[in-house]
Amino acid sequence: MKDNPALHVVKIGGALIDDPEKLEELLNGFASLPGNKILVHGGGKQASALSSRLGLQPIMVEGRRITDEATLDIAIMVYAGLLNKRISAWLNGHRIRAIGVSGADLNLIVSHKRSPEPIDFGFVGDVDQIQTDRVIQIIQLGWVPVFCAITYDGKGQLLNTNADTIATELSLALLNDYNIHLQYISDTPGVLRDLNDRTSTIPFLELKNYQAFKKNGTIGGGMIPKLDNAFLAIDQGIRSIWISDVVRTPDHQAKGTLIR
Amino acid sequence: MKDNPALHVVKIGGALIDDPEKLEELLNGFASLPGNKILVHGGGKQASALSSRLGLQPIMVEGRRITDEATLDIAIMVYAGLLNKRISAWLNGHRIRAIGVSGADLNLIVSHKRSPEPIDFGFVGDVDQIQTDRVIQIIQLGWVPVFCAITYDGKGQLLNTNADTIATELSLALLNDYNIHLQYISDTPGVLRDLNDRTSTIPFLELKNYQAFKKNGTIGGGMIPKLDNAFLAIDQGIRSIWISDVVRTPDHQAKGTLIR
């Protein structure tokens, strides 16, 4: 393994973002991370709230939300506008030189509109390419990119993209240049032994105990594909993955699941 | 005068921004400008349109609009979100390496909330400081900053700021490093001899003929403070100021007023 500098890639999402106090707590944690870092944020419920204030009915197909043009505009306004600039303002107010970006800025993340078959999700983009050299240039200037969950098709069309995916793709694209420590922060305090008990966090997972937990049924359901992807990322060279509702900082013992 | 590289600072605003075809025409003009450039954009009428869709009544005091918290959020969503990212996506789709920013990003433009006396305008910021070194770093990377009309107070509070002011302040801050050519693009095709005749553009103004035009009443009213400011900027070292409804490019003779 190369002696690369460390890079923290932190994704924050879920209802935490909607609560100003909790958001500030997360940003405080992120700000205290030493060295190179990237923040990726989702949109919480604020886009849905704006949609309903505008009287727009969510379009659901097979239980999944469709991004029509009006919904895309709302996502751009809330993610790239309100949340991204509020986060950037907070961080810069705390002397972190954050720069809020979408995938369209500097051509940073090019995606393609998802195929309309079998379900037409509308203006949803799946990531094709990260402009790694420009992300590195930003980091090398000592600046902190703050990505919202908006990408574009390389031609001019903005697209809605999952924030977890952006964090993962950024991490994989930067593997050759940094030792990546990836954090997924959302409402759940890590991987739980018992989904109904928020104190049942499994503090540490490696492939061996993960496979045992899968076998004995401790871990199941929707967590399996997520954790399979996490171990795939570890296998590709990501140094650690932290799943929690708080940012893991060097100076305190946060509760969450560390995957290595 | 120093042999500095040229820098084009182009402000686009007014109803032009609301018309997708006209906006694309402006962006085409901007894209064809050679060398270093900065774009600053206003918000057109889209923020007001969103306000009324949300059922918000504009708060007017002495004929002027007040930016309360809800209005600020809308300005951030429309200016920093929808418009800034659409413009950035269009430019990047046309191989211009644009990066959409607000004054909060990288602490680029610090302003202060305007005094509540005599009129409390709410969340409106007057520019205090431009982070010149970081703007230059962005330009030297070959990137094109696209500023929306949102700044912040240096602590975390976003503020609504006039786009013309941002363009002027950026130009003045960069005077020592670039030969600045400033363009103000809005709905009027330049300085008119007759306000009711859109073909009566005065093609060229320098201090001598400007003073004559003032004396004989050809130029009057609201144009006087604007043009006084323009000549002040020329006096401070800005090489040229273009006022028009089209971007002035080297390759075609656009209609507008050139001030030197």
Q: Tell me: the pLDDT tens digits for A122-174?
A: 999 999 999 999 999 999 999 999 999 999 999 999 999 999 999 999 999 99
Taking the CA of residue A167 and the nearest CA in chain B, the distance in Å comes to 20
Class of domain A36-167: alpha beta
Quote the pLDDT of residue B15: 86
Domain with CATH 3.40.1160.10 in chain B: 6-187
Mapping DSSP onto H, E and C, the string for chain B reads CCCCCEEEEEEECHHHHHCHHHHHHHHHHHHCCCCEEEEEECCCCHHHHHHHHCCCCCEEECCEEEECHHHHHHHHHHHHHHHHHHHHHHHHHCCCCEEEECCCHHHCEEEEECCCCCCCCECEEEEEEECHHHHHHHHHCCCEEEEECEEECCCCCEEECCHHHHHHHHHHHCCCCCEEEEEEECCCCCCECCCCCCCCECCEECHHHHHHHHHCCCCCCCHHHHHHHHHHHHHHCCCEEEEECCCCCCCCCCCEEEEC
The CA angle B67-B72-B77, to the nearest 5 degrees, is: 145
The total of other beta-carbon atoms located within 10 Å of residue A46's CB is 16
pLDDT for position A193 = 92
Q: Which of B102, B105, B139, B146 to mutate to test the interface with A (most CBs of A within 10 A)?
A: B105
Identify which has the larger pLDDT, B252 or A168. Answer: A168
pLDDT of residue A1: 53
Angle at CA A187, nearest 5°, toward A181 and A191? 60
The proportion of chain B whose per-residue pLDDT surpasses 70, expressed as a percent, equals 98
The string of pLDDT tens digits covering residues B50-70 is 999 999 987 878 777 789 999
- What radius of gyration, in Å, describes the C-alpha atoms of chain B? 18
pTM assigned to the model: 0.96
pLDDT over 90 at A251, yes or no = no
The pLDDT of residue B93 is above 80: yes
Distances, alpha carbon A198 to alpha carbons A190, B36, B111, in Å: 9, 54, 44
Buried b or exposed e, range B33-63, using 16+ CB within 10 angstroms: beebbbbbbbbbebbbebbeeeeeeeeeeee
pLDDT cut 90: percent of chain A above it: 82
Which residues in chain B have their CB less than 8 angstroms from residue A137's CB? 141
Partner residue opposite A81 with nearest CB, options B53, B80, B134: B80
Mean pLDDT of chain A: 94
* Nearest-Cα residue of chain B relative to residue A143: B106
Residue A45 reports pLDDT greater than 90: no
Q: Which residues, other chains included, contact A172 with Cβ-Cβ below 8 Å and sequence gap of 6+?
A: A233, A236, A238
* Confidence band for A254, pLDDT divided at 50, 70 and 90: confident
> Which chain A residue's Cα is nearest to B94?
A155
Per residue in B229-247, pLDDT (tens digit) is 999 999 999 999 999 999 9
Res B45: pLDDT:
84
Distance from CA of A149 to the nearest CA of B (A): 12
The hierarchical CATH code for the domain B6-187 is 3.40.1160.10
Q: How far is CA A215 from CA A219, B8, B151, B206, in A?
A: 8, 64, 54, 83
pLDDT grade for A253, boundaries at 50, 70 and 90? confident
Amino acid at B113: K
A93 contact residues in B (CB cutoff 8 A): 152-157
Put simply, the answer to whether B105 touches A93 (Cβ < 8 Å) is no
- What confidence score (pLDDT) does residue B220 get? 85
- Residues of chain A contacting B100 with CB distance shorter than 8 Å: 101-102, 104-105
Angstroms from A250 CA to nearest CA on chain B: 25
Least CA distance to A152: which residue of chain B?
B89
**Contact indicator for A76, A86 with CB cutoff of 8 Å:** no
> Which site among A51, A76, A97 would you substitute to test the B interface, given the most B Cβ atoms closer than 10 Å to its Cβ?
A76
Q: Which residues of A touch B (CB under 8 A)?
A: 53-54, 73, 76-82, 84-86, 88-90, 92-94, 97-102, 104-107, 134, 137, 141, 143, 150, 152, 154-158
pLDDT value, residue B57: 84
